[in-house]
Amino acid sequence: MPAKKKAATEKAAPKKTAPTKAATEKAAPKKAAAPKKAVAKPESRTALVRRARRINRELAETYPYAHPELDFENPFQLLVATVMSAQTTDLRVNQTTPGLFAKYPTPEDLAAAVPEEVEELIRPTGFFRAKTRSIMGLAKALSEEFGGEVPGRLEDLVKLPGVGRKTAFVVLGNAFGRPGITVDTHFGRLVRRWKWTEETDPDKVEKAVGELFPKSDWTQLSHNVIFHGRRMCHARKPACGVCPIAPLCPAYGEGETDPEKAKKLLKYEKGGFPGQRLNPPQGYLDAGGIAAPPLGGATSG
């Protein structure tokens, strides 16, 4: 083709241009904008302290009889029972310790026991061999180092076999009246659910929660939270619909919110079942609590 004719043909042909961005956007169907999530305003330290203390006040009104649920008559019995309560329920321990303390009433008696006989007595609590080594070891230490008496200092208690900070604070708070926070599985689970702390290490949980409350509240706070965790705020399905602190709980709705259905999830006295102690405080009985059955009796909750 002659050069002139080719040029004329190219000039006559319509020139293709890439569609502009604006034209593309206009032609394409618009996607609905995703709804913006409301960003929760971070809770100030002051607001957290106020909410935490209000929760504790509400729990105190709900459980005015909250108490340690291990049966004991003296610091030695409480110490042994607390060590035995690992990986089992307080109810099972309470059903087991009467026979143990009847046979070995003092640290000296327990330290001199035949291990196999102790194992047989505490077998229902599980892990009975390890627990036998711990309770006989602490009994021996009490006999040899503390004159057969349970020491009333944290630094002494945690040196005993099988005794950590949690056990030590149970004994200090309930046998000696010295404030302490008991971080068991219920306590740790609930304070994280309530956003009091995100810590998982028990020592760090203890420190974080302790900073929200006056020291004088620590022991009773532990009872209130643990009572609530055992009876209402369960790990898998909390009874949200009947919970007295629902308006204060960031996790409300994780459990059953229908009041009638939630009532059926309640455990122990509020659900018609007995508590965990064979010999509970009179205040608990006066408030409608029921004593636990002895070993071999019917159990529930």
The residues annotated as belonging to the active site are 166, 184
The residue type found at 152 is G
Q: Reduced to 3 states, what is the DSSP secondary structure of residue 245? A: coil
Tokens of 180: 């302490």
| Nearest in space to 196 (alpha carbons), one of 248, 149, 244, 238 | 248
CA-CA distance, 192 to 268, in Å (whole number)?
24
Distances, alpha carbon 127 to alpha carbons 3, 131, 145, 238, 282, in Å: 100, 6, 27, 29, 32
For the CA atoms of the chain, what is the radius of gyration?
Answer: 31
∠ CA 32-19-17, nearest 5°, is 175
With contact defined as beta carbons under 8 Å apart, do 268 and 275 qualify? yes
Dihedral sign from CA coordinates of 135, 136, 142, 147? positive
